[in-house]
Structure 1
Amino acid sequence: MKKMLTMAVVLAASLLSLCACSSTDPPADPGEAPLQSWYKTDAYTLLLPQGFAAQEGEDGAVTLSLDGQAVGGVQVVPYPNAAGFLDTVGAASEDSRDSGKELMRQLSPEERLAYMMTVSEDGTYLEISCSPDTPDVTPEEETMHYLFPQGDQFYDLYFQAGPVSADQQQSMAKGFALHP
């Protein structure tokens, strides 16, 4: 019986060794940076591409940086029936335009902005491209907002369009998930 138990232990150790050696994943290089990382809060999870970092401030807003430079963030924007607002985007009614103006005042109360709103292809968030409403605007002054509704608020994932490419923005918008 003792000999059988010893053989079982040796067999189990051999199988574990064989499994460990047959992994198809290359060994991780400790000096190699990951291509993506996850940033998690109690309210949401965000996929960050390589070079991006997230830092939560005292007010709960999150600052996103790319290679050490602040390029955007995540903030909560109070808005009654945020999910219902997505259904009104694109309507040619005066109420819809007034609601859009009110939302823009929430996003940037100190500036007069030119903006364009669309609902994402999958209908889950609002995309807003905005820039100062002046004749000599450069593309670097454009800010992109991706607003995810939850109850009476939006989670606003926003970027300076100059330093953050459209692909990086879309990657993060698709990698943003609200927790129930």
Structure 2
Amino acid sequence: MSSFQLRRLEARDVDLYRALRLDGLERHPEAFGASFEDEAKQPLDWFANRLAMTTVVGGFDAAGALMGVAGLTVPSATKTKHKGILWGMYVLEQARGSGLSRQLVEAVIDEARGKVEQLQLTVVSSNAAAIRLYSKLGFVGYGLEKRALHVDGLYFDEMLMARALG
């Protein structure tokens, strides 16, 4: 298992975050609700605002390169603010199998503790590796959204998963 430095991304990381986010959207369009086409048009300020308004944890290698990210959103609405959402999980191919994915999810879980009672996520049902990881970290599937995403003429189902933090 490789060693990575994890920390919350800040405004100074916006260029690195944008590049990594767009890489994920372009290489794995079926894994995200957002599209490369939509986000590539956004100005840098849009990405900076995302970093300011949500928690995005980044994993950096020894050389300081951003190798992966995972986000946490906590809704402000009274009736849903007890549920956090793990979103935007992406690790560069060269860092897969290194333990970084697990470290990022654990960091989001730690960040969510004390803020929310439950953490939710969606994952494309064909991503067995991600589902295995989430399951090992206590997430349980509670539903399947058929045809959740439509990418290049194909439909993808998403598994809904949640983990209690109480």
TM-score by length of 2: 0.28
Q: Considering fraction of residues, name the structure with more helix.
A: 2
Larger C-alpha radius of gyration, 1 or 2?
1
TM-score by length of 1: 0.26
